[in-house]
Amino acid sequence: MYEQEVINILNSLGVKTEGANLEIPPQAEFGDLAFPCFGLAKIKNENPQKLAESIVKKIYISKYPFLIKVEARSGYVNFFFYWGKIAEKTLQNIILGKKVGIGKGKRVMVEFSQPNPVHSMHIGHARGTFIGDALSNVFDFLGYKAIRANYINDVGLQVAKLVTAYLHWAKRKKPKGKPDQWLWQLYVKFHEEAKNNPKLEDEAREILRKFEIERDKKITKIWNRIVKWCVKGFEETYKNLGIKFNVYFYESNYRESGKEIVYDALRKGIAAKSAEGTIITNLKNYGLPDTVMLRSDDTGLYITSDLGLTVYKFEKYKLDKSLWIVSSQQSLHFKQLFKILEELEYSWSEKYFHVPFEHVVLPEGKMSSREGRAVMLDEVVNSLVKTAYDEVNKRSPKLSKNEKVRIANKVAIGALKYAILKIEPNDSIVFNWKQMLRFEGNNAPYLQYAHTRCAGILRKAGRWNPIFFPSKLEDVEKELVRKLFEFRSVVGSVSKDFKPSYICNYIYDLATVFDRFYEACPVLKAEDKTRNFRLALVQATKIILKEALNLIGIEALEKM
């Protein structure tokens, strides 16, 4: 709370410090924030208390409206905040809608989701999808221009295997039901059959060669149709989840331009050709293993297309920053990609960011789509919606059926998103159905319910005029003001560290503090001035809960 302002005061006096050097005093009588002078006193060979006193003498309270007192005590400089003023400014900014504009329209591309067009998305795809969507929302909120991009790997061997399966077992047929789910059955069948018939693998490689090298018209037509069907299935899932994209990139469109960059790297000595004709990087001098950039038969790889697409992104969209939300298993790939582009002297090397995340696993272990051992995302959503409907029906039986269905959908999808996003990206997730829909504890329904409680109080209040400056602040009111003030700082941290889990932690803390406020401080029955100030607190909490939930892709509900 006001840490940076305190740091600025100390720095202006020649006391160089950082947030890590400040402490929150254990008792209110010692202030709201404290600077310990012991380390600095040792360097200066001074008495800590004398040094604290000399610092305090140089701080003029009248210059800082958020301070009410500064004192030297036991070797600490203790800062006492003027909570009335802080409450007034915080509530005004929130209720009157002061915007955050630190992005100033800078363009940030967030590439995320990237499902392979061979099967429907499983629960593992949800993690990168939700992280990317949340980060895009954060950048938009902060005044950047977020460009949401999806990358479809429509060239690789896995698509060739699906095409092979289609030609063997579904030729001339159209998908039945949701197309990506129908295609997944064919994809699984290919791998089951290939165990007994290895020639299917050779056939798939030949189909890939015909598509990429020969540009065979018949194969290309079937190939593109299958990819289109699969993406259509993805779009149904995205729509259900409230996920939108500004642009889809297809790998096949960037393979040839990527090859030109590979040849450029070869000419400049950044890559070399092996005796077999394979083009390989020269990255060992940078502490990175070499990787193949182009096969001897002139077919490309992921890195080939990524080179072409990355150059296209920056030239086409004039990006100030580009994020790739991709599994940590690809960390080496991105280090190699970024180093190649840097050595080719592209000017964007400070603007690339790989945002890694660990996998979602089942209790029995890792998922495998090709073996049919995966929990599909559509299946998860449908099951959660059914469970949520039963809970909504139990809690609000008088609502219409349509309203129950609408709320159940929002609760279920919110539960799924929150269950995934609240975990730090670098920690793996063990998928657990039972935990997600609990209406208590650190789960989305509890947070959505906190918003509906705010909405209910405000509905019952009728007409009222907000009061922003309190005549008196209870401790829990001060705690709520403190938490409301922190919101924008938390969002700013997410934009720097790329961790939406910060917002999840914040929402849970805010809802918990609001619960304590609700229990300790009567709102509607308080006398007029106190009532109107507390209603302003409730309204501000409702606004921040809604903004925070929206940032992680969850709808704030008026009723549950």
Please tell me what DSSP assigns to residue 8: H
Alpha helices by DSSP H, listed for 299-400, are 302-317, 331-343, 377-395
- Domain-wise residue ranges, the chain: 3-81, 107-361, 389-551
Averaged over 276-289, what is the pLDDT?
94
Q: How far is the C-alpha of 520 from the C-alpha of 518, rounded, in Å? A: 6
Computed over its alpha carbons, how large is the radius of gyration of the chain?
Answer: 28
The verdict on pTM exceeding 0.75 is yes
Q: Is the pLDDT of residue 363 over 80?
A: no
Longest alpha-carbon distance in the chain: 88
Q: Is residue 216 a contact partner of residue 526, using CB atoms and an 8 Å limit?
A: no
Q: Is residue 448 a contact partner of residue 545, using CB atoms and an 8 Å limit?
A: no
Which CATH code of 3.30.1360.70, 3.90.780.10, 3.40.30.10, 3.40.250.10 fits the domain covering 3-81?
Answer: 3.30.1360.70
Structure tokens at 74: 């036991």
> Among residues of the chain, what percentage have pLDDT more than 90?
82
Residue-level pLDDT at 172 = 85
- CATH topology of 107-361 equal to that of 389-551? no
Classified as helix, coil or strand, 401 is helix
Averaged over 76-95, what is the pLDDT?
95
Q: Is the pLDDT of residue 51 over 70?
A: yes
Q: Is the pLDDT of residue 297 over 90?
A: no
Assigned fold of 389-551: Isoleucyl-tRNA Synthetase; Domain 1 (1.10.730)
> Among residues of the chain, what percentage have pLDDT more than 70?
97
Which residues, at least 6 apart from 102, have a Cβ–Cβ distance to it below 8 Å? 142, 143, 492
Q: Is the pLDDT of residue 436 over 70?
A: no
Q: What is the pLDDT of residues 185-211, one digit of tens each?
A: 999 999 999 999 999 999 999 999 899
Q: What is the pLDDT of residues 314-359, one digit of tens each?
A: 999 999 999 999 999 999 999 999 999 999 999 898 999 999 999 8
Residue-level pLDDT at 76 = 97
Averaged over 150-172, what is the pLDDT?
94
DSSP codes, 198-258: THHHHHHHHHHHIIIII--HHHHHHHHHHHHHHHHHHHHHHHHHT---SEEEEGGGTHHHH
Q: How many CB atoms lie within 10 A of CB 256?
A: 13
Q: Is residue 293 a contact partner of residue 337, using CB atoms and an 8 Å limit?
A: no
Residue-level pLDDT at 439 = 64
Q: What is the pLDDT of residues 213-234, one digit of tens each?
A: 899 999 999 999 999 999 999 9
Q: Distances in Å between the alpha carbon of 198 and those of 191, 203, 477?
A: 10, 9, 70
Q: How confident is the model at residue 375 (pLDDT cuts 50, 70, 90)?
A: confident
Residue-level pLDDT at 364 = 60
Residue-level pLDDT at 16 = 83
Q: What is the pLDDT of residues 248-277, one digit of tens each?
A: 999 999 999 999 999 999 999 999 999 999
Sign of CA dihedral 389, 375, 160, 168: negative
Residue-level pLDDT at 365 = 54
Averaged over 165-174, what is the pLDDT?
93
In the chain, the amino acid numbered 436 is M
Nearest to 225 by CA among 184, 178, 189, 175: 175
Rounded to the nearest 10 degrees, how much is the dihedral formed by the CA atoms of 533, 537, 539, 545? 180
* 2 against 152, higher pLDDT: 152
Residue-level pLDDT at 368 = 53
Averaged over 150-169, what is the pLDDT?
94
Q: Is residue 436 a contact partner of residue 416, using CB atoms and an 8 Å limit?
A: yes
Classified as helix, coil or strand, 492 is helix
Domain 107-361 has CATH 3.40.50.620: yes
Averaged over 133-151, what is the pLDDT?
97
The region of weakest confidence among 3-17, 32-46, 305-319 is 3-17
In the chain, the amino acid numbered 560 is M
Q: How far is the C-alpha of 353 from the C-alpha of 325, rounded, in Å? A: 9
Q: How far is the C-alpha of 202 from the C-alpha of 28, rounded, in Å? A: 74
Q: Is the pLDDT of residue 366 over 90?
A: no
Mean pLDDT value across the chain: 93
Q: What is the pLDDT of residues 411-420, one digit of tens each?
A: 999 999 999 9
Q: How far is the C-alpha of 304 from the C-alpha of 293, rounded, in Å? A: 6
Q: Distances in Å between the alpha carbon of 488 and those of 21, 90, 100, 536, 551?
A: 22, 11, 8, 18, 12
